[in-house]
Structure 1
Amino acid sequence: MPARVLLAAVGAGTLGYGGWLLWAQVVWQPDFVLSLAGWLVVGPVAHDSLVVPVTALGAALLARTLPSPWRHAVVAGLVASGVLLLVGIPLLTRPMAAPPNPGLDDRNYWPGLLLFLLVLWALLLAVTAAYTGAVGARRRHRRHPVVSEGDER
């Protein structure tokens, strides 16, 4: 219980600090306030109405078709991919609102996003394949232990 209270206090403090920083930067003009409201409302709504149901549906379908280690890896990959796509959509779909910051905004984000997703899935599948192979080898060894020549029982 004390850990939860501590985490809640840290979260509330962080949220308050972020709100204070945001308040100092708000330009109180209708178009800016409308844009800010869109960011603060559309993000959570998109997460709750798109990412969560798609991930839950995918996980439910995979739970019926994939064996356990693969199921966990694929569900983790779906969650990470969904969150990454949701976070990356603003950079992929709209021009920057301010002049580009050299080295930060002056790149094409599509190749980076696709490369990250490729590496994520390759690592997830490689680690799961290695884990599945190691577990399978242990199970086979338990069923058919290797008996050496001097070990006759």
Structure 2
Amino acid sequence: MMVLRGVLLVVGVVAGVVGVVDLLGDGWGDVWRVVVWLAVGVVAHDAVLAGLTILLGVVVVRLLPSSARAPTIVGLVVLGSVTLAVLPTLTVTWTGQSNPTLLDRPYARNWLGFVAVVTVGVVAGSWWAHRHRPAGRGADGSAAEGRSGGRHPRG
């Protein structure tokens, strides 16, 4: 395992050095644009995406039954990641400014199909979790109360 880590470390450092040399070889104008792009990316991720993800997670936890929480959160993370990756293609398709030689597929329709598949997966995962929850658990995932009203018999 240590050898693998060492090899991955060397490969990563070499890739970083190649990237920096390539960036600096193009002139300092590109360096400023890359710094700005990275700074905006960090702010966009930390302030916007992470905040929305946490907020969405809190809302999902409060509104959904326990058996549907994990599948729904996984589905939302997958949909969010894929949507962000294909957003430029989708916005060009929706605005009608597509170049038919570059965008030669029905990307919006395919994305909607992906949304449908993920939704079916979330529903199936929620059903599976509901059907296979541990014995003695209520519909909301809490432990069923015994004769003592949920308190320890000696308490």
Task: Using structure 1 for the length normalisation, give the TM-score.
Answer: 0.59
Q: Give me the whole-angstrom Cα distance separating, in 1, the residues matched to 2:76 and 2:119.
A: 9
The structure whose RCO (Cα within 8 Å, separation 6+) is larger is: 2
Q: Is 2:105 the partner of 1:120?
A: no
Which of 27, 46, 49 is residue 51 of structure 1 equivalent to?
A: 49
Shift of 1:60: 0.7
Please report the RMSD computed on the Cα atoms of aligned residues, expressed in angstroms: 3.9
Q: How does 1:20-59 map to 2 (within 5 A)?
A: 20-21=18-19, 23-24=21-22, 27-28=26-27, 30=29, 36-37=34-35, 39-59=37-57
Q: Give me the whole-angstrom Cα distance separating, in 1, the residues matched to 2:126 and 2:78.
A: 16
Task: Using structure 2 for the length normalisation, give the TM-score.
Answer: 0.58
Structure 2 match to 1:71: 69
| SS in structure 2 at match of 1:135 | coil
Q: Please list every run of 5 or more consecutive structure 1 residues that lacks an aligned counterpart in the other structure.
A: 141-153
Which of 108, 111, 115 is residue 109 of structure 2 equivalent to?
A: 111
Q: Give me the whole-angstrom Cα distance separating, in 2, the residues matched to 1:119 and 1:82.
A: 14
Q: Give me the whole-angstrom Cα distance separating, in 2, the residues matched to 1:69 and 1:21.
A: 46
Structure that is richer in helix per residue: 1
Q: Please list every run of 5 or more consecutive structure 2 residues that lacks an aligned counterpart in the other structure.
A: 94-98, 138-155
Q: Give the AA of the match of 1:62.
A: V
Q: Give me the whole-angstrom Cα distance separating, in 2, the residues matched to 1:72 and 1:114.
A: 22
- Does the Cα contact within 8 Å between 1:92 and 1:110 map onto a contact in 2? yes
Structure 2 match to 1:133: 131
Q: Give the AA of the match of 2:27.
A: W
